[in-house]
Amino acid sequence: MAELRQNVVTREWVIITPERAKRPDQFVREKPQEPPLPMSMPDCPFCVGNEHLTLDESFRIADKENWRVRVIANKFPALTDRGERVRKVDGIYRSMSAVGFHEVIVEHRLHNMTTALMMEEEVADILKVYRQRYRVIRKDSRVEAIIIFKNHGEAAGTSIVHPHSQLVATPIVPNQIRHRMDEAIRYFDDTGECVCCRTMQDEVNAKERIIVQSKNFVAFIPYAALSPFHIWIFPFRHASSFDEISDTEIKDLAKCLRIVLAKLYHGLNNPDFNYSIRSVPTRDLHAEYFHWYLTIVPRVSRTAGFEIGSGMYVNTALPEESAEFLRKVDVPDPKRGSVIPLFQ
């Protein structure tokens, strides 16, 4: 039976429609015709040897001269770190100077690599870099929110194949984040609990939407997932922003994230996807009412006029079935040197 479900964290309603639903394997991407990608490309700005094409490296993890992960300024930044925050209010016209940060994290030396096929230590390197950049950038008093995200594939909004992710630090709190925080505070006032802690604990007990679970993390499809295979990865330990992650947790998250992305890669044939790490606004240090988490959105469905007109979603996949499907996908253990060529 079709039903509406409400996500208690985001308060968003979704229509889950098994009648029009697809079986999980109907979301498997068709094999593309393109040849496999090469390990490097002469004109790729993120490839080894082309470092001079990218500007202002702010951080790297390296073995002597050989970088493993690099952080560079975005060539076409949405926000820059020059100048002050200048807020203008002229009646209904409200603006703010575009100050902030927009960095690119080049995740790997190989052009045709992807997180799903990396070694765990390689994924851990990327997460360490995220944490380092978060810690440095949050100290800038112009910054209000830090969003770390990855766009994988064209449908996910990227044109550069070489594995990379991005960090954007905004000089305002985005409205959606502000709204969710208000709701989380309200939940905290009503119950004395963090709404994320409660959700996670109940999902662990319910079991049926869990994909993988480790000592410190759980990956699950939310009860009211907005789209097919929409996944949340939560840390068990309450912490309100990503920079609070410990070394042990990074190691564990690397394992968990790699397994989840590998299940998508092998189970759905390398779908385009976005992931994003959500934290509280930077001024809310150690908030009790909200929990950082990582959200993954495979781009296997499209939004249309209904979503635009209501902010509500229709999900044609049953979260319980999608989770069961992913639980069953076997993930080979990547060995260094055994690169599986990626299709674009």
Catalytic residue annotation? 164
Question: How many other CB atoms are there within 10 angstroms of residue 62's CB atom?
Answer: 10
Phi, psi of 109 (to 5 degrees): -75, -30
State the nearest-atom distance from the C-beta of 100 to a copy of itself, in Å.
Answer: 9
Three-state SS for 218? strand
* Under 8 Å between Cβ of 55 and 73: yes
* Under 8 Å between Cβ of 99 and 85: yes
State the nearest-atom distance from the C-beta of 281 to a copy of itself, in Å.
Answer: 11
Q: Which is nearer to a copy of itself, 152 or 251 (CB)?
A: 152
| Distance linking the first and last C-alpha atoms of the chain | 37
State the nearest-atom distance from the C-beta of 104 to a copy of itself, in Å.
Answer: 12
Q: Which is nearer to a copy of itself, 251 or 270 (CB)?
A: 270
Three-state SS for 135? helix
CA–CA separation, 245 vs 241, rounded Å? 8
State the nearest-atom distance from the C-beta of 12 to a copy of itself, in Å.
Answer: 5
Q: Which is nearer to a copy of itself, 148 or 251 (CB)?
A: 148
- Give the angle 282-285-289 at the CA atoms, nearest 5°: 105
Three-state SS for 153? coil
State the nearest-atom distance from the C-beta of 176 to a copy of itself, in Å.
Answer: 3
Q: Which is nearer to a copy of itself, 87 or 328 (CB)?
A: 87
Q: Which is nearer to a copy of itself, 8 or 268 (CB)?
A: 8
